[in-house]
Homo-oligomer: A and B are copies of this chain.
Amino acid sequence: MLDVQKIRNDFPILGREVNGHPLVYMDNAATTQKPRQVIQALVDYYENFNANVHRGVHTLSMEATDMYEDARKKVAKFINAGDPDTVIWTRNASESLNLVAYSWARENVESGENIVLTPMEHHSNLVPWQELTREKNAAIRYIPLDNEGVLDLSDIDSIIDDRTALVSVVHMSNALGTVNPIKKLCDLAHARGAKFLVDGAQSVPHMVVDVKEIDCDFMAFSGHKMMGPTGIGCLYAKKDVLEGMKPFLTGGEMVLEVSYEKASWADLPMKFEAGTPNIADAIALGVAVDYLEDIGMANIDEYERDLTGYALNKFIDVEEEGGKLFGPRNPDQRGGIISFDTPDIHPHDLGTLLDQMGIAVRTGHHCAMPLVRSLGVAATSRASFYVYNTKKEVDVLIEGILEAMRYFRDGVR
């Protein structure tokens, strides 16, 4: 089984105190902490290998290139992409999604067509499509939600139709925790000739994700949410799709030949990687992937499911005080994200009080503003777990919420 204490020891920041209390970090859906192996990879790279890649005949450049391309291979293997050239480095999931909007959708979505989303999309999988559909005079359609925040597919055949160019769906909602039936939606999209995009920002870090099995055309995710550094993300896409796309950013090494009049493009993956890439962080993300695979993604999934089940049970205490949980109750339909509202105390005040106790949660709209509004609130409080969180920390969280509610009731309200 999974030795959480051993894992925790790999994360220097978890030894930190906040406001006189041991840090209880439950803001993992925003970004995760990094094990020392990942931090050390950055140090190693800069102290021993740093050079620009792909262009040099000297030793450092060669070594840096090898390490950099090895990292790509690791990520490709991690999501079962097959060919490493189908993994494009970006800054983050948001850039990956924009890349698809600019390079694929601009050329492939036509007036009168539609793009199908869910109401629980992160702004990054929503706003690019609003811009695109406005420009193209195309439409956005939303698959409805039931009142637990689960997709209602009863009418799906009239939503995804022959004029659907793209179905783009978050795998796990960062605002509700809902896990969507990605495989099924992908099949429905393909049956209508639409492309299928998975926003894997919250799923790739927490569960076994296999792009071949899903058969998705695109998948976007971020390194910083999976123990990797900030500044590195990925776009996976099927090879023929990438080959048919025009470049996004141009310049640097993404060319084959350039004259004063025009340019032709390099092969994959470089065609989509203009300028000096984020070499160090790509390499460190490779090390994060090693770290995750050492634990085992199935083990992480199982551990977090158990922890979430425990937290949902405990949360009943908060509900008895009037607290309201968002998202599905059924642990099979959700990941380790507890998004909730507390009566009489605004999420921001709750966040400040919990922070006084060393507990880091996120409060706000979680970049899913329209969804959160549709829940009837302007903001929610959200605790999100990773494999280094413990049941003891869940206890501290629940106690903290209850304490803050009491404190506020006695005082402000």
Chain A interface (Cβ within 8 Å of chain B)? 12-13, 16, 18-19, 23, 25, 27, 30-31, 33-34, 36, 38-39, 42-43, 46-52, 55-61, 91-95, 97-98, 102, 119, 122-128, 130-131, 134, 140, 142, 222, 224, 229-233, 249-255, 257-263, 274-281, 348, 351-352, 354-355, 359-364, 367, 369-370, 373
- Nearest B residue to A259 via CB reads B370
Q: Looking at the assembled complex, report how far the CB atom of A304 sits from the nearest CB atom of chain B, in whole angstroms.
A: 19
Contact present for B251 and A281 (CB under 8 Å): no
Instruction: Say yes or no: A94-B360 contact (C-beta < 8 A), given A281-B230, A355-B58.
Output: no
Instruction: Say yes or no: A278-B91 contact (C-beta < 8 A), given A27-B51, A360-B59.
Output: yes
Contact present for B279 and A57 (CB under 8 Å): no
A363 to B93: give the CA distance in the assembly, Å: 35
Other than the given A34-B46, A123-B251, 13 more pairs (CB < 8 A) read: A12-B47, A30-B55, A42-B43, A57-B348, A57-B351, A94-B249, A94-B252, A127-B251, A127-B263, A229-B281, A232-B278, A257-B369, A258-B369
A251 to B30: give the CA distance in the assembly, Å: 14
Contact present for B251 and A94 (CB under 8 Å): yes
Task: Select A231's contact among B55, B122, B232, B359, beta carbons within 8 Å.
Answer: B232
- Nearest B residue to A38 via CB reads B46
Instruction: Say yes or no: A59-B231 contact (C-beta < 8 A), given A94-B274, A258-B127, A276-B94.
Output: no
Contact present for B55 and A124 (CB under 8 Å): no
- Nearest B residue to A222 via CB reads B276
